[in-house]
Amino acid sequence: IIRKKTFAEVQTERLEQAERTILIKCPSKLNENKLLQYLSSHGNIQSHFLFENHGIHALIEFSEKNSIASLQDAIGIPSAVERHVVPFKSRLFTFMLKNPVSQAAEGTPVHLSPQSHIPVKDLIQKLCHADSISSQMYILLNEYQLTEENIRLRFLACSLVRDFARAYFPDSVVRPFGSSVNTFGKLGCDVDMFLDFHDTQKSATKMKKGPFEMEYQMKRLPSERLANQKILSVIGDCLDNFGPGCVSVQKILNARCPLVKFSHQPTGFQCDLSVSNSIAIKSSELLYIYGSLDSRVRALVFSVRCWARIHGLTNSAPGAWITNFSLTMMVMFFLQKRSPPIIPTLDQLKVLADDKDMHVIGGYDCSFVSDLSKIKPTENTETLDVLLGEFFEYFGNFDFRKNSINLRKGKEVNKPESSPLYIWNPFEQDLNISKNVNQPQLEKFVAMARETAWILQKEDKTQRMINKEPWGLAVLLIPFGKSNHSKMKNKVKGIGSETIRSLLESLKLNSASSLQKAVEK
């Protein structure tokens, strides 16, 4: 068996790969082989793929980093006829045909790797052809999860930002965190990245030998926050003024966690840049471990997130909504609570930690095992069909007034304060990651969970398949219309088959198209 790589190993490998990578905008009629041939005079090409993003782009990975220097040396700067250019030499290029008419004829059909997921209504169609809810959930996962190519593009975006940061801080690294790396990312989600100066501190002991010591003179500021704000402000300006394709740069320096938001046109990503946040990367690693332990984990999270988005429980705009991050933690907690548990508690992961896994960040113990093979596989064999229903049942009946969700212990704990929804930050233990959620939003979540659990229990799958109606997960991804809602209430009195028929009728496939727009970002 091949040992599964640790989170840190995957990150290091992908960042290094991104450093050997360039991105080229290409003409629409293209001969892929000729492009590769043209570039290969600068070195061996390890891999490449093409994708569409306002025109065709080619991502090219060289085997050696110095191939890029050789290429950059040979490449020209655009002539400043209409507009003037800022002569910053990046790894973004434009490939042109000298004789477009004759050369376009040599173009061959190219394979474009998709960078976005299929529309919800197409997904719903696909789900109807599956043979169980469990396979429906895996179909959703396959359609929505990040592809290998999309992950490479995300790391390239970070690496390109690093080129700017390096102009000031040669040792800095820009690392992705959040859903780009925690195995729960969906195609189209933002790229959360942070500037990391950590490596700078590692080699800081060399001059301490003997009776002497020496250190840098550095600018001193009253707080880390202020230092971060200043750094982000400068890098933000740099991206705004000199970054090819960096548009809508917004400095949000007064936020709890100061950040620079921008849209990176060449890769097509919305990016959030902040300064080194070791705890956030530990949260990403923890989720990476949970997501890698058992295939049911990611399948359940993707289905629950998709359900939440369609029913308006989550939203891409900030507000009192439950965030994807909180929702993912709720799924993890539910999986810890199964009997036998499907994933271990954080305390159990800490017991398995060895010396190199010990991390105390800002006074908080963030130690847990990094080697996946040390974690014993679960003995739980419940199907996803069962788990999906049980998830909604569990949170539909959870005593949110009294209890909080604690992943470290894997059990409900009395709420330490009165926030409607209290989910312990796994590392900063005095913080609630869902502090933003208000009572109405929580109530909406509970009501929706109950309704969903009820639908899953009552559903007659065979009958619906015969009637060619959406069934199982597909039903949950169609908004429960207002009219259905009032009919649902009849369940207390007991509903006749006529009511059920009309209820099912109103859930039919054609109503799926109306939500299409709401769900796509």
Comparing CB distances to Mg ion, the nearer of 143 and 190 is 190
Residue 246 CB, shortest distance to ligand GTP, in Å, is 19
Question: In degrees rounded to 5, what are phi and psi of residue 469?
Answer: -100, 155
For residues 407 and 289, is the Cβ–Cβ distance under 8 A?
A: no
Count the Cβ atoms, other than its own, within 10 Å of residue 202: 8
Interaction between residue 283 and ligand GTP (CB under 6 A): yes
Candidate list 138, 288, 325, 395; residue touching ligand GTP; CB under 6 A: 325
Give dist(CA 167, CA 162) in Å, integer. Answer: 9
Residue 315 CB, shortest distance to ligand GTP, in Å, is 10
Candidate list 150, 425, 441, 452; residue touching ligand GTP; CB under 6 A: 425
Q: Which does 433 bind (CB under 5 to 8 A by kind): ligand GTP, Mg ion, none?
A: ligand GTP
Q: Which of 232, 153, 240, 221 is nearest to 195 (CA)?
A: 232
User: With CB under 5 A, what is the number of residues at the site for Mg ion?
Assistant: 4
Give the binding range for ligand GTP (CB under 6 A) out of 61-69, 278-286, 371-379, 467-475: 278-286
For residues 508 and 423, is the Cβ–Cβ distance under 8 A?
A: no
Residue 98 CB, shortest distance to Mg ion, in Å, is 42
Place of tokens 């003995």: 379
Candidate list 190, 285, 393, 451; residue touching ligand GTP; CB under 6 A: 190
Q: Which does 323 bind (CB under 5 to 8 A by kind): ligand GTP, Mg ion, none?
A: ligand GTP
Question: In degrees rounded to 5, what are phi and psi of residue 145?
Answer: -65, 160
Q: How far is CA 73 from CA 88, 200, 237, 376, in A?
A: 13, 29, 26, 52
Give dist(CA 420, CA 321) in Å, integer. Answer: 12
Q: Which does 164 bind (CB under 5 to 8 A by kind): Mg ion, ligand GTP, none?
A: none
Residue 322 CB, shortest distance to Mg ion, in Å, is 15
Count the Cβ atoms, other than its own, within 10 Å of residue 20: 21
Residue nearest to ligand GTP (CB): 178
Cβ neighbors of 125 (< 8 A, separation 6 or more) are 509
Give dist(CA 206, CA 198) in Å, integer. Answer: 16
Give the binding range for ligand GTP (CB under 6 A) out of 73-81, 113-121, 277-285, 492-500: 277-285
User: With CB under 6 A, what is the number of residues at the site for ligand GTP?
Assistant: 15
Q: Which does 325 bind (CB under 5 to 8 A by kind): ligand GTP, Mg ion, none?
A: ligand GTP
Region class of 468: left (phi > 0), else alpha (psi between -120 and 50), else beta: left
Give 506's Cβ-side CA count (13 Å radius).
Answer: 15
Is omega for the bond preceding 340 within 30 degrees of 0, making it cis? yes
Comparing CB distances to ligand GTP, the nearer of 144 and 164 is 144
Give the binding range for ligand GTP (CB under 6 A) out of 7-15, 174-182, 361-369, 390-398: 174-182
Comparing CB distances to ligand GTP, the nearer of 67 and 324 is 324
Interaction between residue 159 and Mg ion (CB under 5 A): no
Q: How far is CA 232 from CA 161, 256, 262, in A?
A: 12, 14, 12
Residue 278 CB, shortest distance to ligand GTP, in Å, is 11
Convert residues 88-127 into a mask of x (bound to ligand GTP by CB under 6 A) and - (unbound).
----------------------------------------
Q: How far is CA 71 from CA 21, 106, 141, 293, 446, in A?
A: 12, 24, 39, 42, 57
Interaction between residue 192 and ligand GTP (CB under 6 A): yes
Site residues (CB under 6 A) for ligand GTP, limited to 392-421: none
Q: Which of 97, 93, 115 is nearest to 105 (CA)?
A: 97
Candidate list 121, 127, 140, 178; residue touching Mg ion; CB under 5 A: 178
Burial (CB count <10 Å: 0-12, 13-18, 19+), residue 284: buried
Residue 425 CB, shortest distance to ligand GTP, in Å, is 5
For residues 176 and 158, is the Cβ–Cβ distance under 8 A?
A: yes
Candidate list 21, 67, 172, 324; residue touching ligand GTP; CB under 6 A: 324
Candidate list 61, 190, 285, 459; residue touching Mg ion; CB under 5 A: 190
Residue 188 CB, shortest distance to ligand GTP, in Å, is 9
Cβ neighbors of 358 (< 8 A, separation 6 or more) are 367
Comparing CB distances to Mg ion, the nearer of 128 and 191 is 191
Candidate list 68, 92, 433, 453; residue touching ligand GTP; CB under 6 A: 433
As a three-state string, the secondary structure of 152-216 is: HHHHHHHHHHHHHHHHHCCCCEEEEEHHHCCCCCECCCCEEEEEECHHHHHCCCHHHCCCCCCCC
Residue 44 CB, shortest distance to ligand GTP, in Å, is 35
Candidate list 61, 143, 192, 285; residue touching Mg ion; CB under 5 A: 192
Interaction between residue 372 and ligand GTP (CB under 6 A): no
Residues of this chain that interact with Mg ion (CB under 5 A) are 178-179, 190, 192
Residues of this chain that interact with ligand GTP (CB under 6 A) are 177-179, 185, 189-190, 192, 280, 283-284, 323-325, 425, 433
